[in-house]
Amino acid sequence: MNWLGVDKLNEQAKGAGFSGTNNIISPDTTAPGSEYTFFLYETGNRINVIKDVYLAGSANDWITGDATRKFTQDPTKPWMYSFDTSLAADEAFKVNFGGWDGALGHYNMTSESANYGFVSSGDPDHNIVAGTGFYAGNYTITLDIVNYLVDISPKASTMAAEINSYPGGDISTPECATKYAAIKPKVTNLSDSEKTIFETSSDVDIANARARYTQWATANNDLAGMYTPPSVSGRIYSVNQQNNRALITLIGLLGFTAIAGFYFLKTKKQ
């Protein structure tokens, strides 16, 4: 969606999927700070907004509103926030909104987030909480307050380190298939920029990881699809094709049986 500006709140609300109203005059600025940024939800004829988004967690003793862990708001898409950070394997954290205790609604996790142990929080302030399951390294955490999505994506260097950490001697063993099945969803779900780095960087660690990942893909006959997520529509089409072939075969058999039966009865009468 495109940002329409502060003078077009009604149109923006409707465009974001809210019920919409023609009576919104100004945003409600009860969120942290008084500068208008973006709305979260409609309450009567008011739009509640947020200004500052932070990361709080085990790495900073769960301090909220930590200025060193503040998300960056996209200047052209103000509903998008991102924060680059390093995560330990046992990291736990939440996305919080300063000292504001307003209800923020329920957030959903993307499929990419599920790869890293994301869970929805049951906390009264409805903040987003992540569990464990990270490969220690650098990540980008993204918040989309229009679509209620939080995502976490590893940097190319982190993905490379994880691939390189697997023990060797795996290409000719069944382990290769297991490792490829576990790693491919993470590689294909890298952000566009990080995927480009992973595919083209001359950095020694990334190049070694790329070569190993290519070997895994080759061993699993998936070289052409190693950077492409599985296509749901393609699988459905394949199933439909199989069903069609089965139906045609069945019709053919029924037709043949009917003809044979007719011939048998006719012969018997003669």
What fold, for 6-154? Immunoglobulin-like (2.60.40)
Q: How far apart are CA 164 and CA 205, in angstroms?
A: 8
pLDDT exceeds cutoff 90 at 229: no
> What is the pLDDT at residue 217?
92
List b or e across 166-177, with b for residues whose CB sees 16 or more CB atoms inside 10 angstroms.
beeebeeeeebe
Helix (H, G, I), strand (E, B) or coil at 256: helix
Q: How far apart are CA 94 and CA 125, in angstroms?
A: 11
147 backbone dihedrals φ, ψ, rounded to 5°: -95, 5
Higher pLDDT, 125 or 151: 151
**What is the number of other CB atoms lying within 10 angstroms of the CB of residue 228?**
10
Please, are residues 145 and 79 in contact by the beta-carbon 8 Å criterion?
yes
List b or e across 117-137, with b for residues whose CB sees 16 or more CB atoms inside 10 angstroms.
ebeeeeeeebbbbbeeebbeb
* DSSP structural state of residue 34: S
Mean pLDDT of 100-129: 40
Pairing of strands 72-73, 128-130: unpaired
**What is the number of other CB atoms lying within 10 angstroms of the CB of residue 203?**
14
Distance of CA 104 to the CA centre of its chain: 21
> What is the pLDDT at residue 235?
27
pLDDT digit string, tens, across residues 44-103: 434 445 557 888 888 898 787 789 999 998 877 766 889 999 988 777 777 776 654 443
Averaged pLDDT of the chain: 66
DSSP for 20-58?
A: --S---SEE--SSSSS--EEEEEETTEEEEE---EEEEG
> What is the pLDDT at residue 185?
86
pLDDT exceeds cutoff 60 at 43: no
By the 10 Å C-beta count (0-12 exposed, 13-18 middle, 19+ buried), 233 is classed as exposed
pLDDT digit string, tens, across residues 192-228: 999 999 999 999 999 999 999 999 999 899 999 999 8
Question: Is the pTM higher than 0.85?
Answer: no
Written as six digits, the tokens of 54 are 């932070």
Q: How far apart are CA 32 and CA 60, in angstroms?
A: 20
Nearest to 47 by CA among 71, 75, 72, 78: 78
By the 10 Å C-beta count (0-12 exposed, 13-18 middle, 19+ buried), 224 is classed as exposed
Q: How far apart are CA 24 and CA 202, in angstroms?
A: 53
Higher pLDDT, 41 or 205: 205
Written as six digits, the tokens of 261 are 């039966």
